[in-house]
Amino acid sequence: MSDKPGRSALRTQRRYLPAHILLALGGLVMVFPFAYQIVMSLSTNAEISSVPPTLWPEQLQFVNYVEVFEKLPFLKQFSVSVLITVVRTLGQLAFCAMAGYAFARMEFRGRGLLFGLILAILMIPGQAYLIPQYQIIQGLNLLESPWGVVLPGVFSAFGAFLMRQTFMGLPKELEEAARLDGCNPWQAFTKIMLPLSAPGLSAVAITTVLWSWNDLLWPLIVTTREESMPLSVGIATLAGQHSSDYAVMMAASVLAMAPIFVLFFSMQKRVIAGLATSGMKG
């Protein structure tokens, strides 16, 4: 590399100094609660409520993390969270990919009307269907069950929309060739189109995992027993009961958020691309 571009790059970075200062300060505000939560999860309750505040514990209290499993039904709630998130995501992927494919590629009567009918759900606030959904789940005897938490959420208008967009962007020639080679529509879909739609599938999976893991209102009304709650509900409920046991609640919160962050950092580029796609309809 010649000297000149290097020096001009250096000049650019120097010109950017105000931008760096602003972004670093802003970034600090974003990260602080996470860092503070981790510090508190390793402190004693007395240190958390001390005046002046303790910024670093005298001794790291790893015992708080042990107590999460002894004092709280953490493992049980964790497994509920995993189950509802996995089932909801797989269900959505299957139903939305199939419907999105048909809406993008098949010609049939009423296609536009049906797609509009499904999309209209996106404009409607959830409360408008929550009570009757609850009554359906009650009628099916699925209150307190992870299946009751999952059931309405496996059907997603948003996922169908994203998958239709994805399939519309794929070339037609491949699947036409497959059909001419004797594949039926199901085979053309599963063997040719589905593997090509991976970016769309991962966008649907990412948003669903995130919403399902963090969702509160619906699981809050479907589950009332501690052992049937997912973590999102469990943390809020347990924080009410153990209101002065700050340290253990902080450790439980760190553990409850950890899987999403691990997932995010292991596939960061894809998550950001996926979420940016989800905004493309704007």
Q: By CB under 8 A, which span of 17-25, 60-68, 72-80, 192-200 interacts with other proteins?
A: 17-25
Site for other proteins in 209-228 (CB under 8 A): 210, 213-214, 216-217, 220-221
Q: By CB under 8 A, which span of 69-77, 142-150, 191-199, 242-250 interacts with other proteins?
A: 242-250
Instruction: Tell me which of 12, 141, 244, 266 binds other proteins, using CB under 8 A.
Output: 12
13 binds other proteins (CB under 8 A): yes
Which has the closest alpha carbon to 79: 67, 87, 71, 70?
87
Residue 183 contacts by C-beta under 8 Å, 6 or more apart in sequence? Answer: 191, 192
Site for other proteins in 43-72 (CB under 8 A): 48-53
For residue 256, how many C-alpha atoms fall within 13 Å in the half-sphere facing its CB? Answer: 29
33 binds other proteins (CB under 8 A): yes
147 binds other proteins (CB under 8 A): no
Yes or no: say if 77 and 231 are a contact pair by the CB < 8 Å rule: yes
Q: By CB under 8 A, which span of 29-37, 67-75, 141-149, 193-201 interacts with other proteins?
A: 29-37
Helix, strand, coil shares, percent, the chain, to 5:
80, 0, 20
249 binds other proteins (CB under 8 A): yes
CB of 25 to other proteins, least distance (A): 11
CA dist list (Å): 93 to 90, 154, 204, 224: 5, 9, 7, 29
Instruction: Tell me which of 30, 56, 58, 70 binds other proteins, using CB under 8 A.
Output: 30
2 binds other proteins (CB under 8 A): no
Which residue lies nearer to other proteins by CB, 195 or 240? 240
Query: Sign (positive/negative) of CA torsion 117, 119, 123, 126?
Result: positive
Gap between the Cα atoms of 49 and 72, Å rounded: 22
205 binds other proteins (CB under 8 A): no
Which has the closest alpha carbon to 213: 57, 71, 80?
80
Which residue lies nearer to other proteins by CB, 65 or 101? 101
Instruction: Tell me which of 74, 78, 158, 246 binds other proteins, using CB under 8 A.
Output: 246
Which burial class, exposed, middle or buried, applies to 89 when counting CB atoms under 10 A from its CB (0-12, 13-18, 19+)?
buried
Instruction: Tell me which of 187, 196, 226, 267 binds other proteins, using CB under 8 A.
Output: 187
